[in-house]
Amino acid sequence: MRTARSTRPPTGPRQLHPGAWWLWALGLGAAATRSTNPAILLLLAAVAGYVVAARRGDAPWSRSYGAFLRLGLLVLGIRLVFAVLLGSPIPGTHVLFTLPEVPLPTWAQGVRIGGRVTVEGLLAALYDGLRLATLLVCVGAANALASPARLLRALPGALYETGVAVVVAMTFAPNLVADVRRLRAARRLRGRTDKGVAAVLSVGLPVLEGALERSIALAAAMDTRGFGRTADVPRRLARATAALTLAGLLGICLAAYGLLTAGGAGWAPPVLLLGLAAAFAGLLLGSRRSVRTRYRPDPWALPEWLTAGSGAAVAGLVGYLSTQDPAAFAPTVVPPTVPVLPLAAVLAVLLGLVPAFAAPTPPRRAS
Amino acid sequence: MITFEQVSIRYADAAAPAVEGVDLTVPEGELCLLVGPSGSGKSTLLGAVSGLVPHFTGGTLHGRVTVGGRDTREHRPRELADLVGTVGQDPLAHFVTDTVEDELAYGMESLGLPADVMRRRVEETLDLLGLADLRDRALTSLSGGQQQRVAIGSVLTVHPRVLVLDEPTSALDPGAAEEVLAVLQRLVHDLGTTVLMAEHRLERVVQYADQVLLLTPGAAPVLGEPAEVMAHSPVHPPVVGLGRLAGWRPLPLSVRDARRKAAGLRERLDGRRPGAAPAPTGAPIATVARLAVRRGPVQALRGVDLVLRPGGITALMGRNGAGKSTLLGSLVGLHTPASGAVTVGGRTPHRTRPAELIREVGLVPQDPRDLLYGESVTAECAAADTDAGAAPGTCRALVERLLPGIADTAHPRDLSEGQRLTLALAVVLTARPPLLLLDEPTRGLDYAAKARLVEILRDLAAEGHAVLLATHDVELAAELAHRTVILAEGEIVADGPTAEVVVSSPAFAPQVAKVLAPGPWLTVHQVAEALSA
């Protein structure tokens, strides 16, 4: 009864649990890393974009999707420019054009500036850049659908204070940008030019001073509002928490090392599981120190399962298909071929559209 | 509820204690107003109640401060959070979360209240403060008055028995200030909350106070009934000034009380008129013609026409976000017009090089600190001389003329609000611009600093400067401006001699005008002159 009342009701327009959105977006992102086929990547980006368009709210962070899209294009552009300027290790025969090559001393052997630009090299760079851009678009989709601040609120109590620090840091950045803008404008009022690097640098100190003052004001406000109140816990419990968390983290690091190096495949997974279990137990024990309660946590109901499940399904299916049909998922660039779009892959990626229908519409401001 | 016993507080590197020998008892359910010039220790006393002084700020506290029976020396601010709610001048510095509803719940989450209690209290508070329509809104998308109401709401949800407010209305337009004060009065009347508030704008708040604590640097604090304290206070609102002049007893604190006593005065003033300043003539210094400016998605100005002539002081008023700052910014070329034209001294500001533009027009921004980057007053003045190409020492001489006694070695950030404003004004005036713009200059200024600013601006206008100031301070506009322009939604809705514009508007009328309506009187000074003539 009590728990049913404390969460938001799972009917009507509401925000989907932020965890579900992030799992879904990470699923799409994981699928993107399994392929360099531009058709599949573009389809993934389109699916993410459609869901954002269908289900984003009207909060300020909902507009961040466009920024991530532009960032993705920028990454793609940079990747291509580098491929043109520095050449590409891909051996190619179809020469598009030849740039004048800068002669380099012998110690810089292996590095090339200018020279032949081939279709193969450019295609490889394009596919590679597109993969990274798609990944960014997926993160951008998660960002637009659920702000990271909301995700952090769903963290267990022991991580709460870390979460607040991250949230404060995240609001710090936009404030800093606003400050730099304001102070650059103020430079004009002093009769100095507001253009160029020097103008930005010269406002550095006042901006930092302002940011520091604001942080101190916020810290004071948080303190007067009860931030950091803790419950008394026995010393033994506190020690056990610390030991468990530390052991858990060590275990996870060891396992990660084992997984990444050859020969660790045997012992690493069990160590990883043990480490995760220890860290989780530490977090649970640590939560006892915190007296916080949570106001109307988002419920985890059917739409959340469907959304997170669709992300996992896309990641799983694309991962499986890519091992079955590697040629379709990583089209060869030497010689250049027209990428094909296998029907199975299309269906798998389209599963990512489920949240556009399964997720509840976000509440909108009447205006 | 709150007791101070022989309290003195001294900060680590200060020569003298910030407050000394304070004995004070505020009973439950009273609204106690702290009054005094800048630097008299108002914020320090407020901090001592919330526990921020000395736990957060450092310094030494002698004596004893207890709130609801808890000694603030032994309880840190977070341990007083369920008892004392603190709201400062800038609501944005107070917010921890990003939406209205979460912000209201934040304090309760920290205290670990059960979920169903939190749910109920958030709904109650949304209704109490009239925020129900805004519950899902992002905090940054709210207006100033709405933000301040959310900030007050966010501390109210934990049901504190004491509310500590440091200049809660100083950044707000008259309408938004009314909103906030109405809420405070309701809290005191209906919930029995004890409120301790510091505020420079006495004309807004003194009528709501049950007690006034008058702090004067170097003298013992005086606590008493508002009317008694105001009878002798060096700082007082215009309605009290009028009451003192007319010899009304008991002294009225609100416009309503004063009006009931003012029949006689209105009769005596009948047939007389205040000496009107001649409307400035002469070639316009600046012309704004059908100006439209977009700022991001917002159409900030739509078709504004304005002509500024030498010797004229113009007040620019309107609610927060009406486009006042954008208009000032356009005159110094910070914004490119979408259509229409701006001409200042024959130039187009946004196409003029900054070094040339500062000889035509100078702007003192809302926060004068934006203009000051120097390590000391001397360094700042030297930089200003170089920027303006003026003879060395010009700026320093201006500072000395405007406000004598600012130390050479002081860091601009350590100056008081009034000193900082004067320094920024001197920096701007170093280039001798014929047009001077000020954005919200009286924010945070006490009465003495404000009176000083009025004198300075009058002198500058007499020397032939044109002055345009954006302000929420109706008393300042009444005192100073020859002409008042009211902006709403980026359009000019009223433009004319101050007396005509403000007397006809309930929101922008100064207290004296409200008391003596329909007479054309705006300030105590005018009435005094008319009576002595």
pLDDT digits (tens, 9 = 90+) for B286-321: 999 999 999 877 889 999 999 999 999 999 998 888
Handedness of CA B125, B126, B130, B136 (dihedral sign): positive
pLDDT surpassing 90 at residue A67:
no
**Which residues 120-179 of A have a C-beta within 8 angstroms of B?**
147, 149, 153, 164, 167-168, 171
Can you read off the two tokens belonging to residue B228? 């008694």
Nearest Cβ partner of A292 from B110, B141, B155? B110
**B115 and A147: CB-CB below 8 Å?**
no
The pLDDT value given to residue B88? 85
The pLDDT value given to residue B244? 93
Query: Which of B156, B34, B142, B56 lies closest to B91 in space, CA to CA?
Result: B142
The pLDDT value given to residue A10? 73
The pLDDT value given to residue A364? 66
Cα–Cα distance, B409 to A238 (Å, whole number): 51
Query: Which of B418, B439, B429, B436 lies closest to B381 in space, CA to CA?
Result: B429
The pLDDT value given to residue A193? 76
Q: What percent of chain B has pLDDT over 70?
A: 100
**A226 and B110: CB-CB below 8 Å?**
yes
Average pLDDT over residues A44-56: 92
pLDDT surpassing 70 at residue B95:
yes
The pLDDT value given to residue A366? 42
pLDDT surpassing 70 at residue B222:
yes
**Which residues 268-297 of A have a C-beta within 8 angstroms of B?**
291-296
Average pLDDT over residues A157-176: 72
pLDDT surpassing 90 at residue A172:
no
Q: To the nearest whole angstrom, how far is the Cα of B212 from the nearest Cα of chain A?
A: 25
pLDDT surpassing 70 at residue A6:
no
Q: Identify the weakest region by mean pLDDT among A150-159, A219-228, A356-365.
A: A150-159
The pLDDT value given to residue A4? 40
Within 8 A by CB and 6+ apart from B460, the residues are B429, B436, B467
Cα–Cα distance, B31 to B278 (Å, whole number): 44
pLDDT surpassing 50 at residue A186:
yes
pLDDT digits (tens, 9 = 90+) for A196-220: 777 777 778 888 888 888 888 888 8
Average pLDDT over residues B427-446: 90
Handedness of CA B524, B230, B449, B478 (dihedral sign): negative
Average pLDDT over residues B150-159: 91
**B354 and A191: CB-CB below 8 Å?**
yes
Q: Identify the weakest region by mean pLDDT among A24-33, A177-186, B71-80.
A: A177-186
Cα–Cα distance, A364 to A243 (Å, whole number): 47
pLDDT surpassing 80 at residue A365:
no
Arithmetic mean of pLDDT over chain B: 89
Average pLDDT over residues B359-372: 90
Instruction: State the DSSP string of B75-141.
Output: S-GGGSTTTEEEE-S-GGGT--SSBHHHHHHHHHHHHT--HHHHHHHHHHHHHHTT-GGGTTSBGGG
Which residue type occupies B282?
G
A118 vs A167: which has the higher pLDDT? A118
Asked if B86 and B47 count as a contact pair (C-beta separation under 8 A), the reply is: no
Q: What percent of chain B has pLDDT over 90?
A: 46
pLDDT surpassing 70 at residue A3:
no
Q: To the nearest whole angstrom, how far is the Cα of A186 from the nearest Cα of chain B?
A: 6
Given pLDDT bands bounded at 50, 70 and 90, which one contains residue B359? very high
B99 vs B425: which has the higher pLDDT? B425
**CB-based contact (8 Å) between A95 and chain B?**
no
The pLDDT value given to residue A265? 65
Q: Cite the beta strand spans of A135-282 per DSSP E.
A: none
- Residue ranges of domains in chain A: 12-154+297-358, 235-287
Average pLDDT over residues B179-198: 89
**Which residues 57-76 of A have a C-beta within 8 angstroms of B?**
59-60
Angle between helices A38-55 and A18-33 (to 10 degrees): 170
pLDDT surpassing 60 at residue A224:
yes
**A227 and B428: CB-CB below 8 Å?**
no
**A218 and B413: CB-CB below 8 Å?**
no
List of chain B residues whose C-beta atoms are within 8 Å of the C-beta of residue A149: 97-98
Nearest Cβ partner of B111 from A190, A191, A226? A226
Q: Identify the weakest region by mean pLDDT among A11-15, B21-25, B99-103, B411-415.
A: A11-15
Average pLDDT over residues B116-124: 91
Average pLDDT over residues B420-424: 90
Cα–Cα distance, A139 to A134 (Å, whole number): 9
Average pLDDT over residues B512-516: 92
The pLDDT value given to residue A2? 43
Nearest Cβ partner of B116 from A5, A168, A363? A5
**B137 and A365: CB-CB below 8 Å?**
yes
Instruction: State the DSSP string of B225-261.
Output: -HHHHHHH-SS--HHHHHHHHHT-SSPP-SHHHHHHH
The pLDDT value given to residue A264? 66
Q: To the nearest whole angstrom, how far is the Cα of B67 from the nearest Cα of chain A?
A: 14
Domains, chain B, ordered by start: 2-234 (3.40.50.300), 286-519 (3.40.50.300)
**Which residues 302-361 of A have a C-beta within 8 angstroms of B?**
none
Average pLDDT over residues B2-24: 87
Given pLDDT bands bounded at 50, 70 and 90, which one contains residue B449? confident
Asked if A325 and A7 count as a contact pair (C-beta separation under 8 A), the reply is: no
pLDDT surpassing 60 at residue A5:
no
pLDDT surpassing 90 at residue B243:
yes
The pLDDT value given to residue B163? 94
Given pLDDT bands bounded at 50, 70 and 90, which one contains residue B232? confident
pLDDT surpassing 60 at residue B430:
yes
Our CA dihedral for A51, A52, A56, A62, rounded to 10 degrees, sits at 170
The pLDDT value given to residue A133? 94
pLDDT digits (tens, 9 = 90+) for B244-265: 999 998 899 999 999 999 999 9
A200 vs B509: which has the higher pLDDT? B509
pLDDT surpassing 90 at residue A41:
yes
